[in-house]
Structure formats: C-alpha cells, structure tokens
Amino acid sequence: MKTVPTGIKGLDQVLKGGFNHPSTVLVAGTAGAGKTTLAMQSLFNAAREGEVCLFISAISEPVAMMESFVSNYSFFDYSLLEQNKIKLFNIEENLLKEGAPEVIKFIEDKIRMYKPSRIVIDPITVIAESKETEFEQRLFLYELLTRMKSWNLLVLITGEFSMETLKNSPLSYLVDCVLHITETIEGDKSERYLTVIKMRGRSYFSGRHTYKLSDDGISVFPRLLPGIEFKTASTLRASTGVEGLDRMLKGGLLKDDIILFSGSPGTGKTIFGLSFIYEGASKGETGLIISLEEWPEKLKRNARAFGWDFELLEKKGLVKFLYFPPALFHADEHAVLIKDTLKQYNIKRVLFDGIEDLETALPDSIKRRDYVHSLVDYFSSQGITTLLTSEIPELFGTIRLTQETLSGCVDTVVLLRQVEVEGHMIKALSILKSRGSDHDKEIREFEITDKGIEVKVALKGYENVLAGIARKPPVDVFREMFGGKKP
C-alpha cells in the first residue's frame, strides 16, 4: 500500500502524508459544507499530476451542468477533460432502481474502459436511498462497498451526514477513511471544520481543523499544537532596544524568551514593542509584527515619530507585517500563516501587539487560552524572542493582567502604569518576574521622547505606585509637616 497526495492544501499534513492507495474514503458532511468540491479538487489535482480519474454522479444531471459547476474554481482545467484525464458520468435514475448489481456493472464498465487510479462517487447516500427499506439500503451499501475493495483503486465517496447520523451508518465501518466536514455559526462568524474520524492502518492528526472554501477550492488549516521539538535553551541575550530596561533585566532578554508588556492605555506598550523589533532589525535579525487592531501603515507612521524607518526595513526584508482584523480572524488559518512566515523569512523576533484583541476575535475563552499558549510555546520552541503587549482596562486601582492569566506562560512580565504623583501624571514600569534570570526589583519612572523610551530613576519614597496613585507614607508626611519630628 502506498500513500498518494490528497490534492487538498493542508489535508496531507492532517493525514500525515495523504490517502492510502488503494482505499475507500468517505467524505461526509452537512449540506453546503463542500463535499463535492473537495472530491472534484482531489481529482483535478491528481489528473494534473498524470493520474486518470473518474467522477460518477448519482444525481441525474447533464455532464455539461457538472462541468459548469466546477469551472468556477481555479483548479478546473478543461484540457484535462479533453485529454480524457478526467471523465464525468452520471448514473441514470432507472439504473439506480435496478439494484446494486447493475450500478456496480455500470461503474466497472467505466473502470475497464478508462483504467483510472482514482474515482469519485457523489453522493453515495442518494444511491442508497433509491431502496425502499433500511435493510435494503444497508444490503445495497454492503454489496457496493465490498465490491469496491476489489477495484484496487482510491475511491472517494461523498454523503450527507451529521456527526450523529454518521456514527449509526454502516458506511462508517465499511470504508477505510472517514472525513467529516461541516459549517457552524460562532458568534457573528461562520466557521468550517474538518475532522478525521478514522484512518485505517495509519496515524493522523486528530481533533477539529478549520478549512476555508474559496475560489481556489478547499484549504485546510491544521490546528495549532505547542512546539514538540525544542531547540537548546539559549543563554545569549537580546536587547529590548531600551537601554535602561536592558540594565533592569541584567543584560536584556534571553533569546528564546517570551516577554509580556501589560499596561493601561497610553503607557507606551506598542512603542516598547516597535523599539524591540527595530533593535533586532538594525542588527540583522528579521522581525515579524502581528496586529489585530492597528494596520501596518499606521504602525509605520507612528514609528517615524521616533526616527524608526520601518518602510525601509520592510523593503530590505528585515521586517514583516501580518494584520488580521478581529471580524475576519480564524485561529487555525492565522496560525498556519504565521508559521509559514516564520519559516520563509527566518524570523528571529516577534511582536504580537494587542493580544487582548483576541477576546473579540476568539470569544470562546478556552479556545483563546489554548491558542495563545500553543502559539507562544511554538515561538519559544523555534528559538524566537517574542514580545506580547496586553492592555489593562483600569487606569487606576486593582491590577488584572489578562483574563487568561498570560503571566503563567511567559518568561518575563513588565507592568506599565500611569501614576499620579503630587498632582502630575508620570509613567512607571516594574518587572514583576523574569524567569531564570535576576532583575531590578524597583519601580522606575520612564519617559517617551522623540528618540524612544528613556528609563529614569526609581520612584523611592512613595507607596501605592502600581495602583496608579503614588503617595508618601504617612510617617513621611508627618515629618514634613512637623519638621522631622516623629509622631
């Protein structure tokens, strides 16, 4: 038994190689999920690689109508039909009524005539439903599927099933592989999912994977898993681009670390991130900026205020941008694009700006948590230094880093705050933790200048700074009022 490509982008990865040949594959799903499209796409891409393929429709419709339907996709190539690399047929209704032997004879006549390596029967459920009783339907399917085993071909059959009805169908145990595809509504967005129910004789990538149906046909996006193969943990340091912060971190970040900047609005989170990417790019380390809120041109414009020319760095291939509006965000598709970008451009630094925007893009808190943890774990496994920014909604008062307690999956946490000191607003930062490394424990003032970030002196002599309202201890106030006398 050999493995052959499915012809569907991303599906070979889910199946860990492709379809077994020979084998029978059931593509099951709800109406409109794309079953016929998947089957047709598999045939056309296989024919393009030299295979001879048959498409047999159980719906009595003219071949010209079938051609018209599939011609809307980019994978369609009429020359493959002209060369007899793909042949389209339909089973007439009267033939269906005659029973399994006549249907099998019709299909086997076509197999002997064209000698295909891959065929599609679409949909198998219509053939079965031509029988009056459930017993007759089951017997028909058993005879047909048993005969398919003798064809020594890759046979794709489609059928309309929900996940529940699929479990009770004899097809699910008669075939070698079962793919289930479906479309659901989650919030205001439509999501499509592909699940491998079984794959006889081979392991596969389990779980639900999203897929997209477009003018190019179906593209599957394998779900994101944490990094499995880790590079050796780095002992080298990477500058944050802020000299004072590097000193607080005792030399900068470890090169495969994840750092989280969490702060209230206007504290400079994005500026810290841009400085981090700019510093790396200036030393030849390619950076990736991911944003769900601010589009690339706006980020480039804002960076120019500090003398950072990201337009030039992008032209030199030292900085890449990925922008995903939350309303159009699809987690697995997003993850595949990120991973492809990391590999293609040998990315060394990543800025994920505004990770709290995932609350809108991924309303399900469990999915969101798993996605973020898997993503940052993957970055670290690839030796990439990563900076995340997250907004604290409260300007003053209680500190809550994020709903998903991101601090648990990152190595370093820097808290940024707007602080009222004697009637004036200043900015302050504090390193809450730095895993595996010593760090400055003091709360320090910082300023945003036309050159970037400048870290200043420690805010000594004040308490309650991180709550946003700094005040002197009562004992110091008493001393000032009464000339240094103790209360």
> What local confidence, expressed as pLDDT, does residue 461 receive?
66
Cβ atoms of residues 353 and 289 within 8 Å: yes
Spatial CA neighbour of 45 closest among 70, 20, 15: 70
End position of a domain, from candidates 221, 249, 270? 221
Instruction: Give the pLDDT means over successive 10-residue stretches in the chain (487 positions).
Output: 93 96 94 94 96 88 79 94 93 73 88 96 76 74 85 94 85 92 84 94 92 96 73 82 95 92 92 98 97 93 96 97 88 92 97 89 84 90 93 58 64 89 83 88 92 90 59 49 50
Contacts of 82 (CB under 8 A, 6+ apart): none
Per-residue 3-state assignment (H helix, E strand, C coil) for 86-152: EEEEECCHHHHHHCHHHHHHHHHHHHHHHCCCEEEEECHHHHHCCCCCHHHHHHHHHHHHHHHHHHC
- Looking at the structure, do residues 276 and 137 belong to the same domain, yes or no? no
Residue 367 lies in a domain: yes
- Write the CA distances from 461 to 267, 349, 477, 485, integer angstroms: 22, 37, 11, 17
User: Do 91 and 57 touch, CB atoms closer than 8 A?
Assistant: yes
Judged by DSSP in three states, 252 sits in: coil
189 plus 321 within the same structural domain: no
Residues 204 and 280 in one domain: no
**Is residue 247 domain-shared with residue 193, that is, in the same domain?**
no
Determine the pLDDT at residue 477: 40
At 247 the pLDDT is 95
Same domain? 177 vs 41: yes
Whether residue 264 is contained in a domain is answered as yes
Same domain, yes or no, for 217 and 336? no
What pTM, to 2 d.p., does this model score?
0.82
Same domain as 253, residue 150: no
Which of 193, 221, 249 finishes a domain?
A: 221
User: Cα–Cα distance between 437 and 123 in angstroms, integer?
Assistant: 61
Residue 228: inside a domain, yes or no? Answer: no
DSSP-assigned states of every residue in 286-347: -EEEEESSS-HHHHHHHHHTTT--HHHHHHTTSEEEEE--GGG--HHHHHHHHHHHHHHHT-
171 & 272 share domain: no
pLDDT at residue 435, as a whole number? 87
Inside any domain, residue 141: yes
Q: Is 227 contained in some domain?
A: no
Task: Give me the domain span that covers residue 129.
Answer: 2-221
- Residue 129: the pLDDT is 67
Cβ atoms within 10 Å, residue 405? 10
Considering the domain architecture, whether residues 106 and 210 belong to the same structural domain is answered as yes
Distance (Å) of CA 77 to CA 44, 55, 74, 120, 216: 7, 15, 8, 17, 12
Tallying the residues shown for the chain, one arrives at 487
Q: 10 Å Cβ neighbour count for 108?
A: 13
Instruction: Please give the Cα distance from 205 to 196 (Å, whole number).
Output: 8
pLDDT, position 66: 79
Longest dimension (CA), the chain: 110
The C-alpha atoms of residue 367 and residue 389 are separated, in whole angstroms, by 19
Number of domains in the chain: 2
> Coil, strand or helix: which one is 358?
helix
Tokens found for residue 39: 């089957």
Are 180 and 262 within one domain? Answer: no
| 297 token code pair | 């041109």
The whole-angstrom separation of Cα 263 and Cα 257 is 20
Task: Check: CB of residue 418 under 8 Å from CB of residue 468.
Answer: yes
Question: Do 287 and 212 fall into the same domain?
Answer: no
What is the domain-level CATH number for residue 285? 3.40.50.300
Q: Does the residue 170 lie in any domain?
A: yes
Is 231 contained in some domain?
no
Q: Is residue 230 part of a domain?
A: no
Of the residues 188, 221, 254, the one at which a domain ends: 221
Q: Are residues 305 and 361 in the same domain?
A: yes
